[in-house]
Amino acid sequence: MTALLRRDLKLAVRAGGGFGLGLAFFLIVTVLVPFGVGPQSELLSRIAPGILWLGALLACLLSLDRLLALDWEDGTLDLLATSPLPLEAALGIKALAHWITTGLPLVLAVPVLGILLNLPAQGYGWLVLSLLLGTPALSVIGTFGAALTVGVKRGGLLMSLLVLPLYVPTLIFGAEAARRGATGMDPLTPLLMLSGITAGVVAIMPFASAAALRVNLR
pLDDT at residue 161 greater than cutoff 70: yes
The single-letter DSSP state of residue 119 is -
Distance of CA 35 to the CA centre of its chain: 25
Q: Tell me how far apart the alpha carbons of residues 152 and 130 are, in angstroms, rounded to a whole number.
A: 34
pLDDT tens digits for 8-60? Answer: 777 777 755 556 788 888 999 888 988 888 878 888 899 999 999 999 999 98
pTM recorded for the entire structure: 0.90
CB-based burial label for 114 (10 Å; 0-12, 13-18, 19+): buried
Encode 58-95: b = buried (16+ Cβ within 10 Å), e = exposed.
Answer: bbbbbbbbbbbbbbbeeebbeebeeeeeebbebbbbbb
User: What distances in angstroms separate CA 122 from CA 55, 110, 171, 205, one per listed residue?
Assistant: 20, 14, 20, 34
Instruction: Pick the range with the lowest mean pLDDT from 56-60, 75-79, 193-197.
Output: 75-79
Among 99-103, 124-128, 197-201, the minimum mean pLDDT is found in 99-103
Asked whether residue 71 carries a pLDDT value surpassing 70, the answer given is yes
Q: Is 139:94 a contact under the CB 8 Å cutoff?
A: no
Instruction: Determine the Cα angle at 83 with ends 150 and 8, to 5°.
Output: 55
Give the contacts of 195 (CB within 8 A, at least 6 positions apart).
Answer: 133
Between 8-17, 146-155, 201-210, the lowest mean confidence (pLDDT) is in: 8-17
More confident residue, 191 or 70: 191
Q: Report the C-alpha gap between 43 and 191 in whole angstroms.
A: 24
Dihedral (CA of 148, 150, 151, 153) sign: positive
